[in-house]
Amino acid sequence: MTAGARPSLRVCALGALTLCIILVGCSTSRTGEAVGTKSTVTEQVTATPASPSTEQSCAAAPAVLSGGVFPERSSNANIRDFYAHVDPQPKSTNYTGCTQGLSYAVVTGSNGTKDQPGGTGSSMFEALVVFVHGEVSRAVTPYVMHSVTIESASAQKIVASFDSRYNGNHPAENTTVTITLDGDDASVSPGLSNTYGDRLYIDLASAPTNSGTAKGPHGDDATYSLRPSTDFTGGGGATYSFATPSGNINCFVNSDSLLCETRFSVTLGSDRTCHIPAFEGHENSADIFGWVNYDKPACGSVIQGNYRDGRAVLQYGEAVAFQPRSNLKIVCYSRSVGIACENPEGYGFSLAREGFTFYHV
């Protein structure tokens, strides 16, 4: 390697077919903490780039997973003009766009008018949304319930319990249903329409009218316009991606990592670098930042290969919430001074030309 040359990040050829990615976790002696549970410091992963056909087979995440306001319907013609204000993140889900067979999301929210939720305890709801091969099932109606409990779930069968009482002051009214994969859709036993008939359900065929707002990241009192994650599907080989309006920061979100590439370098102290052995001595001038692994602290390192471009622009004053795995939510914010990404119940980082910091929320 010639003097001053910078090695390409993390990737070394192993024969003609295999790539070896060496991911060494950040030092656990510093003050930063992982987003999820702690894991070992050193991790080795062998990865084979996905073929274009594999990427195309994955469905885009349905809008309901990012929340918004959806019309509610009923078989009773006298029930009309109700809307479901669905929260930005599901209560629970095992959905991924590449899942074959059955998957689900239990979404929460409040009934109300088109302009605002009811704001009362009795207006709160949970609803079960079932997906077949990544797409919303037409056979399983997402009825509005007091609560939904998933008893078991696999690609072939989901067993769920519905409590259909209208508020917590009434006795529980539980029904257990079994949903099974049936070709390109699903079948339900007992049939939901037989039991719930004219009950309100969420019309997922209609586009949400908005995704609401989000309070700012740590130390920022501003309110941000919350966009659905479906606006940022794909790009750069990632599940989701976004760019700042300047194009100087591009972020890429996958099930195990969130990494932001910059068109500028940031000087880092050793406590903020990823400590990848092959790049020791180079990471103090970093241009890729974030969670190499959600179970390790955020850190900075040196970018590999060519720069990537995010799929869509996250405008200043906007935020987007991602759920890379069922027990983890990350919200990213676009600001004129840079970006911030954080797990509202854990840790976060901010990134700008002036520096890269990680913090406890």
Residue 17 pLDDT:
28
Residue 43 pLDDT:
31
Residue 211 pLDDT:
56
Residue 182 pLDDT:
93
How many CB atoms lie under 10 A from the CB of residue 76?
11
Cβ atoms of 86 and 319 closer than 8 Å: no
Regions of the chain with pLDDT less than 70: 1-57, 119, 167-169, 207-212, 305, 326
pTM: 0.49
Cβ atoms of 225 and 213 closer than 8 Å: yes
